[in-house]
């Protein structure tokens, strides 16, 4: 199909303007995304000004998800999503791509179909819809996680195979589900007597009076481009923002002295700097040595040095 010769995506999508570089601020992006995704996507015609504003907002949302504002990902280039790099077709592709990303992020609990995208993007750009949708789908940028329908309406694949996944952690189980939706036969191997990997919550205490303690990963660093943020929304799991002020407590419940806490953090960071220096000196010989063992040895040496200087 030939690329349309008009200067913009008509009526439903406008040509994406060139936006200058911007600093990323997660708090501002939180407000922007919540405001934009809170409203329904319009199927009716909009004014040119509305479309341009919406297109810019969708571009900013795409940035928060890790996509460049005026370029393609290396994966997109290798996939050949456009016939020629640069120029109008690539620009229009980016508009469509950003729109698809925003549409799915507006409701990550249900499957986003290609037909739904065609409701808000002109049929003249059907080839770009297919290119962007297929890339985002098969690379796991949309329609992933725990969503409805449970049986994903994926197209039939002709070259299905069998895949063995080692590890029933979050990554392994997610990969298994995604591959199964693509038509592959999947076997997951796990060495422990439970799934979950590093995600493991232990209930401690007596029956009826217990506390839940996370023994593994419990902090999500970055929400927008992190698939764990999507999983939390899909499973309706509330997230608690980690405060800058995070007090520590002793076993007896008394707070740790702030001065001691600050000094220990300073020493810890200095030890990490020493570890980096050692790794550079040792090169490949350091590959089989754990970070914990090196930190403990450096701590002992530092403690001995302090005692010897007294």
Predicted pLDDT at 179: 87
Predicted pLDDT at 91: 95
Strand partners, 214: 201
The CATH homologous superfamily to which domain 146-242 belongs is FAD/NAD(P)-binding domain (3.50.50.60)
Predicted pLDDT at 81: 96
Q: Which of 17-21, 95-99, 107-111, 278-282 has the lowest mean pLDDT?
A: 17-21
118 vs 208: CA distance, rounded Å? 53
pLDDT score of 6 more than 50:
no
Domain definitions of the chain by residue range: 26-138, 146-242, 258-308
Mean pLDDT of 131-138: 96
Predicted pLDDT at 304: 59
Q: Which residues 6+ apart lie within 8 Å of 111 measured at CB? A: 143, 147, 148, 149, 152, 153
* DSSP string across the chain: -PPP-SSS--TTSPPPPPPPP----HHHHHHHHHHHHTSPPP-S---HHHHHHHHHHHHHHHHHTT--SSS--HHHHHHT-SSSSSHHHHHHHHHHHHHHHHHHHH-TTBPPPHHHHHTTS-GGGHHHHHHHHHHHHHTTSSS-SS-BSSS--PPPPSS--EEEEE--BHHHHHHHHHHHHTT-EEEEE-SSSSSBTT--EEEEEETTEEEEEESS----S-STT-HHHHHHHHTT----PPPS----B-TTSPBPPHHHHHHHHHHHHHHHHHHHHHHHHHGGGGTTS-HHHHHHHHHHHHHHHHHHT-
Predicted pLDDT at 32: 59
pLDDT digits (tens, 9 = 90+) for 212-245: 888 887 888 888 788 888 988 898 888 888 887 8
Q: What long-range pairs does 108-111 form, CB within 8 A, spacing at least 24?
A: 108/145, 108/147, 108/230, 108/233, 108/234, 109/147, 109/148, 109/233, 109/234, 110/147, 110/148, 110/149, 111/143, 111/147, 111/148, 111/149, 111/152, 111/153
Cα atoms in the 13 Å half-sphere on the side-chain side of 282: 13
User: Percent of the chain at pLDDT above 90?
Assistant: 32
Q: Which of 12-21, 42-51, 136-145, 301-310 has the lowest mean pLDDT?
A: 12-21
Predicted pLDDT at 41: 59
Q: What does pLDDT average to over the chain?
A: 81
Q: Which residues 6+ apart lie within 8 Å of 274 measured at CB? A: 298
pLDDT score of 1 more than 70:
no
71 vs 86: CA distance, rounded Å? 8
Predicted pLDDT at 39: 53
Predicted pLDDT at 143: 92
pLDDT range class, residue 100, cuts 50, 70, 90? very high
pLDDT score of 300 more than 70:
yes
Predicted pLDDT at 19: 45
Strand partners, 210: 205
pLDDT digits (tens, 9 = 90+) for 157-216: 556 789 999 999 989 998 998 888 888 899 999 999 999 898 888 888 887 788 888 888
pLDDT score of 8 more than 50:
no
Give the number of residues written for the chain. 310
pLDDT score of 308 more than 60:
no
Predicted pLDDT at 145: 87
pLDDT digits (tens, 9 = 90+) for 254-295: 999 989 888 888 988 888 998 999 889 988 888 888 888 888
Q: How many CB atoms lie within 10 A of CB 62?
A: 21
Predicted pLDDT at 30: 57
Cα distances from 30 to residues 39, 65, 120, 219, in angstroms, run 15, 12, 24, 18
Predicted pLDDT at 153: 61
């Amino acid at each position: 199909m030939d690329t349309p010769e008009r200067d913009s995506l008509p009526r439903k999508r406008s040509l994406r303007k060139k936006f200058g570089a911007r600093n990323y601020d997660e708090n501002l992006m939180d407000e922007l995304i919540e405001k934009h995704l809170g409203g329904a996507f319009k199927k009716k015609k909009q004014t040119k000004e509305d479309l341009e504003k919406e297109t810019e907002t969708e571009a900013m949302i795409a940035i928060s998800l890790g996509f460049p504002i005026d370029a393609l990902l290396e994966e997109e280039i290798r996939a050949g999503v456009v016939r020629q790099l640069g120029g109008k077709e690539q620009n229009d592709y980016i508009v469509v791509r950003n729109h698809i990303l925003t549409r799915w992020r507006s409701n990550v609990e249900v499957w986003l179909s290609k037909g739904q995208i065609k409701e808000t993007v002109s049929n003249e750009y059907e080839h770009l819809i297919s290119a962007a949708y297929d890339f985002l789908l098969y690379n796991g940028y949309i329609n992933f996680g725990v969503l409805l329908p449970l049986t994903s309406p994926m197209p039939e694949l002709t070259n299905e195979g069998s895949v063995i996944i080692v590890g029933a952690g979050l990554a392994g189980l997610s990969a298994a589900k995604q591959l199964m939706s693509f038509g592959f036969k999947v076997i997951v191997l796990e060495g422990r007597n439970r799934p979950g990997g590093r995600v493991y919550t232990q209930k401690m205490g007596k029956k009826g009076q217990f506390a839940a303690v996370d023994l593994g990963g419990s902090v999500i660093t970055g929400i927008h481009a992190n698939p764990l943020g999507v999983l939390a929304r899909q499973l309706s799991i509330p997230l608690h923002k980690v405060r800058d002020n995070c007090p520590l407590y002793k076993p007896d419940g008394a707070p740790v002295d702030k001065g001691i806490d600050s000094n220990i953090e300073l020493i810890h960071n200095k030890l990490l700097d020493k570890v980096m220096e050692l790794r550079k000196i040792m090169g490949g010989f350091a590959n089989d040595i754990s970070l914990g063992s090196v930190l403990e040895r450096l701590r002992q040496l530092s403690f001995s040095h302090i005692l010897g200087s007294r």
